[in-house]
């Protein structure tokens, strides 16, 4: 009796698992609705800038990190607006309109590579831009 119940329980779990994993449109996965022109950019150690465009207009920045430090405070900056500026001593990120992101980095004075990551979100779609700046 006990082995029959255990077998039915295992069979029920397996059927539920396979039924959920074969869904045609999984919940929480959207198609790319930002459509970045570039996702990765290489900078020399000098002061540099790049303009990245999007085809989607409804997106916002959800995080910024430099060299793994994700403690950047947006303060009163509303990244859902069509124009804003995020400024730090080593970088500047500016959304000039609904489809352009201007990114600047100051000269890298260190002997280590710097990596700026900008996370973007549009509904349930997440994307990002990675800027790698060479060491001095």
Q: Give Cα separations from 14 to 1, 6, 46 (angstroms).
A: 20, 12, 57
Enter the pTM of the model: 0.77
Least Cα distance to 92 among 79, 107, 100, 102 occurs for 102
Whether the Cβ atoms of residue 85 and residue 92 lie closer than 8 Å to each other: yes
Whether the Cβ atoms of residue 132 and residue 50 lie closer than 8 Å to each other: no
User: Structurally, what CATH architecture does the domain formed by 40-133 represent?
Assistant: Sandwich (2.60)
What are residue 30's phi and psi, to 5 degrees?
-105, 160
Which 3 state secondary structure label does DSSP give 64?
A: strand
Q: Give the pLDDT of the chain (136 residues) as one tens digit per residue.
A: 666 655 655 555 554 554 454 444 334 478 999 999 999 999 999 999 999 999 999 999 999 999 988 667 888 999 999 999 999 999 999 999 999 999 999 999 999 999 999 999 999 999 999 999 999 9
């Amino acid at each position: 009796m006990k082995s029959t119940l255990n077998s039915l329980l295992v069979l029920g779990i397996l059927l539920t698992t396979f039924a959920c994993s074969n869904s045609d449109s999984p919940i929480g996965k959207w198609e790319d609705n930002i459509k970045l022109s570039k996702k990765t950019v290489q900078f020399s150690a000098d002061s540099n800038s790049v303009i990245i465009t999007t085809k989607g207009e409804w997106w916002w920045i959800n995080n910024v990190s430099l060299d793994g430090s994700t403690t950047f405070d947006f303060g009163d900056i509303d990244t859902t607006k069509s124009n804003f500026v995020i400024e730090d001593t080593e970088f500047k990120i500016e959304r000039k309109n609904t489809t352009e992101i201007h990114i600047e980095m100051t000269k890298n004075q260190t002997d280590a590579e710097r990596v700026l990551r900008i996370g973007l979100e549009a509904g349930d779609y997440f994307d990002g831009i990675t800027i790698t700046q060479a060491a001095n």
